[in-house]
Structure 1
Amino acid sequence: MKGKLNVEELVAKYLLGDITAPERKQLEDWTKSSPERKEFFNRLCTNIAFRERYEAYSHINSHLAWKRFKKKYCPSIISTYLKYAAILVIPILIITGGWYFSTSPQVETLNNFTLGDAIQPGIPKATLILAENNKQSLTPTYPIPVKVNHSTTAIAQNGTLIYPTTPNINDTLHTKQNETIENNTLTTEQGNEFRVTFEDGTTVHLNYNTEIRYPVKFSKTKRIVYLKGEAYFKIAKDSRPFYVITDQGTIKQYGTEFNVNTFIPKRTEVALVKGSISIVSKESAQEQFIKPGQLAHIEQNGNNVSIYDVDLTPYVAWNEGRLIFENRTLENIVEILEHWYNVNISFGTPELKQLRFTGNMDRYATITPILKAIARTTNLQINIKDREILITDN
């Protein structure tokens, strides 16, 4: 097949058993290019109802089969919008053309949408846990001093906790033979985010529901932090290696920028933006390197690290103030919205959770534009009452 890869036609040919060896290789390469595509394709192929609909057109060639199938089961894909009844069809329509949130004029399906303007995005807020479990609340205020141990005072300002810089590792405090490592812990809750600048100049952006534990001053040989949740790291250049330790393994950096996410149960997800890092799972001593533009999965109790070449934009966009979804289920999107906007979102029927979207939204806007985009794209009904949101079929 020459020119632009036509995934729709390749999938149609595969389901009809009319795919050539070169076309099969193209399709396999496409599915292996990201975990999301592989998951989608496997789910599509194992769905009996979807396959039976395709097989109903087996008496004609694949190209015509796809055209007739699309015409019968999703006639409104170009001019209007699909409803959840076409749920099994939606993913294949998304993967090649891109299902972007629409702003075209439609019948208003978001009841009391102005109430969404009162639902603001998350704010910079965190709790700092000091020695002996002493806690201090940090909010976006004018600069205030924060005593982080008996000899060190940090500054909290504009949503960032800034530790005093240590000039170099030959600083007298670092060279003491019996130096005591004192840890601080910074935590965020639902609807919060915060930033921290360590004494070496490394900056970390914490997403909601995140905890990071770190020393007030790093040791003279290495820099180690412990993470639960999601954080974006910009590591300062230093002769000491920097380690991020999660429940699944260890990320070691060699001068870099990367995102670490442990929100998915029993998995650590690492997206490398710049530089070089290696990953060692807890069950293996083997150090595996990943390159910029790659995504690594460290699974619980796994001996291997899975590495994928992907577009990193959706994985790191939150750090730049965007919410970017690429072929994500509505259930997954809702989970993110609940944590960031501190709301409760429920569905009228479970089937609605599996609708899939691709979209790019402002993370610091109110929730209204996102809800309106979902409502108009799917013709779903969205009702808001205080911080409770209900999504139902029209």
Structure 2
Amino acid sequence: MYTSEGNIIQLIRNCLLGVLSSEDRHKLDVWLEEERENQLLFEKIKKELSLGSEVAVFNKLNDEEAWLQFKELRKRKSKLRIIRRMLWYAAVIMPLTLGVLWFWDVNFHEERESASGMESVIQPGVSKATLVAANGEVYELRKEVHQEEIKMGNGLVVKREEGNLIYDSTMIVEERTMINTLKIPRGGEFKITLSDGTRVYLNSATDLRYPMVFDQKERKVYLSGEAYFEVSKDESRPFYVVADDVVIRVYGTEFNVNTHLERGVQAVLLSGKVGICDKRHGDEIIMKPGELACGNRKDGEITLRKVDVRQYVAWKDGYFAFENETLEQIMSTLSLWYNVDVFFQAESVKKMIFTGYMKRYSEIDEILRAITDVVGVQFSINDRTIVVSK
């Protein structure tokens, strides 16, 4: 990066990571002394960033691309707006921890502008679900409940805690075939601990079917939507996730499965080893950590490729992670979490690309303003419908 502003962003990043040379330290000091705003910017970044030992959002980020976006922005924004966006891009190109804050409005909220008159009361999703028991009884689950027990037939008890449902492995054998269904609506999320100790994080618009107690030979659940699994190790009983026509076999690992995509089921493996196959073919493919498996909904073909898996699981920790994604993909994700409908006024808008990492619990207005600043599209909100235009 040859421009002075670009070099400054690089210097700030290296300084906060503790890898700044003495020569670069001098360059940074000179820049800090030039203007008071420079010092305020630097102090704000240092204050808000957490660069501890937590898991980074991303290690591989495109500095040049972020800088080109910033330069384009610089041509049409006031100096105060430039400083604010510089703060954003400094955040984008740094390998930050998942505890990092969304920088869109840091100390500049008094200057915030309304993008196309965009004002709404659309709030992010919350912990909520509907439990449909095998006997047909329905239970509405909400985060507000701190602890409660749900009794199901023959004295069976399921523990219900804040945003979590917990099944007990000591349930009587006669009830092992009872299948429950946990339904997560749009604008919701929930967690469940299955009878074997496996923990499942369920995203919006997701259904999970599972037995109250697994049998002695295998553990099998059925998924529609998106979920992150932390499977308890049990070599004598493989764990199966059936998602549409795809079957994933697990012995103890962590992975994410998503059936929302139009092209087919997508699975990302974080640790351990799993086998994945399409029921129409039956040939199992072994996945390794750091791999993404994509199933083709039409012909059943499964392909593997290496990815940075954190992009695909950031939602579990409360973040959106959009890496060179189209607006169509991004708005589809947002529509599920914020429970809104999206309308594009032009097909070309759907193909525009955006990269950004932000808090999942922010109001939707903040996220839309960020996209507007970077790619130049306009959003208007009418009740729970978002219209996207050039």
Query: What is the TM-score normalised by the length of structure 1?
Result: 0.68
What SS does the aligned partner of 1:292 have?
A: coil
How far off is 1:350 after superposition? 2.8
How far off is 1:109 after superposition? 5.4
1:229 to 210, 225, 228: 225
**What residue number does 2:182 align with?**
186
Distance 1:109 1:366 in 2: 14
Deviates more, 1:153-162 or 1:178-187: 178-187
**What residue number does 1:131 align with?**
134
How far off is 1:286 after superposition? 2.1
What SS does the aligned partner of 1:308 have?
A: strand
Distance 1:75 1:157 in 2: 45
What SS does the aligned partner of 2:265 have?
A: strand
User: Within 5 A, what are the aligned runs for 1:1-394?
Assistant: 77=72, 79-80=74-75, 108=113, 110-113=115-118, 115-116=119-120, 118-140=121-143, 141-166=145-170, 173-174=172-173, 181-239=177-235, 240-265=237-262, 267-300=264-297, 302=299, 304-393=301-390
Change in CA separation of 1:381 and 1:288 when aligned onto 2, cut-off 3 Å = closer
Distance 1:209 1:356 in 2: 25
Distance 1:251 1:318 in 2: 21
Distance 2:153 2:238 in 1: 24
Distance 1:317 1:162 in 2: 23
Deviates more, 1:157-166 or 1:324-333: 157-166
How far off is 1:179 after superposition? 7.0
How far off is 1:149 after superposition? 3.7
**What residue number does 1:53 align with?**
none
Distance 1:143 1:75 in 2: 48
Change in CA separation of 1:162 and 1:102 when aligned onto 2, cut-off 3 Å = closer
Deviates more, 1:243-252 or 1:375-384: 375-384
Identity of paired residues, percent?
Answer: 37
Higher relative contact order (CA 8 A, sep 6+): 1
Q: Any conservation in 2 of the 1:148–1:216 contact (CA below 8 Å)? A: no
Distance 2:224 2:327 in 1: 24
Q: How many residues align?
A: 295
Distance 2:194 2:223 in 1: 14
Distance 2:147 2:182 in 1: 18
Q: Any conservation in 2 of the 1:102–1:377 contact (CA below 8 Å)? A: no
For structure 1, list consecutive stretches of 5 or more residues without a partner in the other structure: 1-70, 83-96
Change in CA separation of 1:81 and 1:154 when aligned onto 2, cut-off 3 Å = farther
Distance 1:299 1:379 in 2: 33
Change in CA separation of 1:76 and 1:179 when aligned onto 2, cut-off 3 Å = closer
Q: Deviations over 1:126-179 (max 9, x none)?
A: 11111242211111112121124433211222111111244xxxx9x45xxx77
How far off is 1:180 after superposition? 5.1
How far off is 1:268 after superposition? 1.3
Change in CA separation of 1:380 and 1:267 when aligned onto 2, cut-off 3 Å = closer
Q: Any conservation in 1 of the 2:175–2:213 contact (CA below 8 Å)? A: no
Change in CA separation of 1:216 and 1:348 when aligned onto 2, cut-off 3 Å = same
For structure 2, list consecutive stretches of 5 or more residues without a partner in the other structure: 1-67, 78-91, 94-101
Distance 1:142 1:327 in 2: 39
Distance 2:316 2:333 in 1: 14
Distance 1:379 1:302 in 2: 38
How far off is 1:220 after superposition? 0.9
Change in CA separation of 1:130 and 1:326 when aligned onto 2, cut-off 3 Å = same
Q: What CA RMSD, in Å, does the superposition of the two structures yield over aligned residues?
A: 2.8
Letter in 2 for 1:374: I
Q: Any conservation in 2 of the 1:109–1:381 contact (CA below 8 Å)? A: no
Q: Any conservation in 1 of the 2:147–2:161 contact (CA below 8 Å)? A: yes
Change in CA separation of 1:142 and 1:287 when aligned onto 2, cut-off 3 Å = same
**What residue number does 1:22 align with?**
none
**What residue number does 1:44 align with?**
none
Deviates more, 1:187-196 or 1:349-358: 349-358
What SS does the aligned partner of 1:255 have?
A: coil
Q: Any conservation in 1 of the 2:281–2:300 contact (CA below 8 Å)? A: yes
